[in-house]
A and B are shown apart, each in its own frame.
Chain A
Amino acid sequence: MPSTALLLSQAFNGLALGTLLALVASGLTIILGTLGVLNFAHGALFMLGAYAMYVVMAHTGSWLLGLLAGGVFMLVVGVALERVLVRLFYQRPHEDQILVTFGAGIVIVEAVRAYFGGNTKSVPTPSWGQGIVRLGFLFYPTYRLELIGIVAALLFALYLVLYRTSIGLVVRAGIEDARMVGVLGINVRRAFLAVFALGVLAAGAAGMLYAPIVSVQPDMGGSFLVEAFVVIVIGGLGSYPGAVVGGLIAGEIVSLTSAFNTAYSEVMLYAVMALLLVLRPQGLFGSEGRV
């Protein structure tokens, strides 16, 4: 039986992982819900965010600049990807969409590998995130703790965009019935572009924030993509609250299980997903008959 301190520390790790999964998964889920496209390039975009942070940090040492410049860069990538590629596949079968986004992901990963090499890059922790904090009888890395707060703030910002702005209104309506949104005079295609760029930004931001605490290398997005899929299945396809709650649950499952046995953490995640699919096929927040 692991010690209480280890369990508690893992619970915090679960929160850090969970909020990040929530951020990646919310990007994935709004793209899927609104555009109907399962974006297999999402893991590569997460990785791209981490490299953006690496480049800016290496040249300027400024974390804030990394976040801002990285954010703009991810938006540009998102807009370009949608205009040049994804847009052409809205009317195509799901297999085609999966193949084309999967292919785009491979191109991004290999381009990064070709330019930066395949070895691991390390991104420094910002000055205000160094060291450890004492939480009662537990010592915990400062940056991870701050990360939880920062990502929570980003998730809240995303919530505000989705639930308090006109574009959010269009996105939420589009998730239900994009055709009717068009009948009400709204250019859904333009909204689709905004959604895709926003989703890419969410994946990239997660990569930027995560960069200091993982090894940054071209294939880092793969496992994150798979976990993000599990998250949106647990939370309900196309549901933003589902992505957030599903992300937190998944983060805790992975982290707490690995306190007992690291080898079983992923297995446990799939087991919970399978169980949930039996009990509630539409996921925690999904509506029946969707997607």
Chain B
Amino acid sequence: MSTSLLEVEAINSFYGDSHILFDVSLTVGRNEVVALLGRNGAGKTTTLRSIMGLVTPRSGSIRLDGRAISGLPPFEIARLGLQLVPEERAIFGQLTVEENLRLAALTAPQAWTLDRIYEFFPRLRERRRSGGRQLSGGEQQMLAIARALIRDAQVILLDEPFEGLAPLIVRDLVRISRDLAAQGRTILVVEQNVVAALSFADRVYVLNNGHVAWEGTPAALRGDPALMKAHLGV
């Protein structure tokens, strides 16, 4: 019996011959915000890529709302309501902001309107005719998140949304993430910025060398400086 929206069970993922993930298991409940933390190279991105279908785990299972999705191509997984916001953001630089959004909305069964997106991200409305290439890092990240929102994704996988951004922009994005969490969006977020991630997560997994090393609440993690130091270096 399980009520989790996303269930990852003992997956093993590889790049060629290198074994990256070792029996990684995690769950994300409906309306839950889960943070996946760990040092650089721990396998966080690979976990998200495995869930999105960009990497196919050699063993283990991944279920979305009870349905096995591992082995499906990314576009089918996306149509089932899972959306990766990749670390490199992958904005289409030759497309305008609005075209990026329209592209994302094309195959969504219940896409948000552009207006609703622009209410959430007023900055994107101002920039809607700008090419993706002309956006600042913060704007690109907003657009990357907006593409997931316009699809009305059931589960959003955020890979280091605050990486490389100025503190002021990070504050904005943290506020946006909190808003999303408060609206009951289901989010699995990967971050190096532990403090920022803990500020809106309900539950935390710590990944170390491709193994799940710890699982618990943000409060428990904050209360354990030795653990923070050992696995996160903070």
By a beta-carbon cutoff of 8 Å, the part of chain A in contact with chain B is: 166, 169-170, 172-173, 175-177, 179-188, 287
- If A172-B95, A173-B92, A173-B95 touch, whether A180 touches B86 (CB-CB below 8 Å) is yes
Chain B interface size, as a band, is 20 to 34
- If A169-B106, A179-B54 touch, whether A185 touches B95 (CB-CB below 8 Å) is no
Interchain CB contact (< 8 A) of A176 among B83, B86, B94, B104: B94
Choose, from B25-33, B71-79, B112-120, the stretch at the interface.
Answer: B71-79
Residue of B nearest to A239 (CB): B94
- Are A169 and B103 closer than 8 Å at their CB atoms? yes
- Are A186 and B107 closer than 8 Å at their CB atoms? yes
Residues in A whose Cβ lies below 8 Å from that of B147? 184
- Are A183 and B95 closer than 8 Å at their CB atoms? no
Q: B151 contacts the other chain (Cβ, under 8 Å)?
A: yes
Residues in A whose Cβ lies below 8 Å from that of B69? none
- Are B99 and A183 closer than 8 Å at their CB atoms? no
Residues in A whose Cβ lies below 8 Å from that of B103? 169-170, 173, 181, 184, 186
Residues in B whose Cβ lies below 8 Å from that of A179? 54, 74
Residue of A179, A181, A184, A188 contacting most chain B CB atoms (<10 Å): A184
- If A169-B99, A173-B103 touch, whether A187 touches B92 (CB-CB below 8 Å) is no
- If A183-B54, A184-B147, A185-B79 touch, whether A287 touches B94 (CB-CB below 8 Å) is yes
Bound-state CA distance A169–B103 (Å) is 7
Q: Sample 15 A-B pairs with CB under 8 A, ordered by A number.
A: A166-B106, A169-B106, A170-B103, A172-B92, A172-B94, A173-B103, A176-B93, A182-B74, A182-B75, A182-B78, A183-B54, A185-B79, A185-B106, A185-B108, A186-B75
Residue of B nearest to A169 (CB): B103
- Are B93 and A182 closer than 8 Å at their CB atoms? no
B89 to chain A, nearest CB (A): 9
Q: B102 contacts the other chain (Cβ, under 8 Å)?
A: yes
B216 to chain A, nearest CB (A): 30
Q: B84 contacts the other chain (Cβ, under 8 Å)?
A: yes
- If A185-B107, A186-B106 touch, whether A180 touches B75 (CB-CB below 8 Å) is no
- 7 more A-B contacts (CB under 8 A) besides A181-B103, A186-B75? A166-B106, A169-B95, A173-B103, A182-B74, A183-B86, A186-B106, A287-B94
| Binary contact track B81-102/A, C-beta < 8 Å → 1, others 0 | 0011010001011110001001
- Are B102 and A169 closer than 8 Å at their CB atoms? yes
| Binary contact track B30-52/A, C-beta < 8 Å → 1, others 0 | 00000000000000000000001
Bound-state CA distance A166–B111 (Å) is 15
Bound-state CA distance A94–B93 (Å) is 25
- If A169-B99, A169-B102 touch, whether A183 touches B94 (CB-CB below 8 Å) is no
B77 to chain A, nearest CB (A): 9
Residue of A nearest to B90 (CB): A180
Residues in A whose Cβ lies below 8 Å from that of B107? 184-186
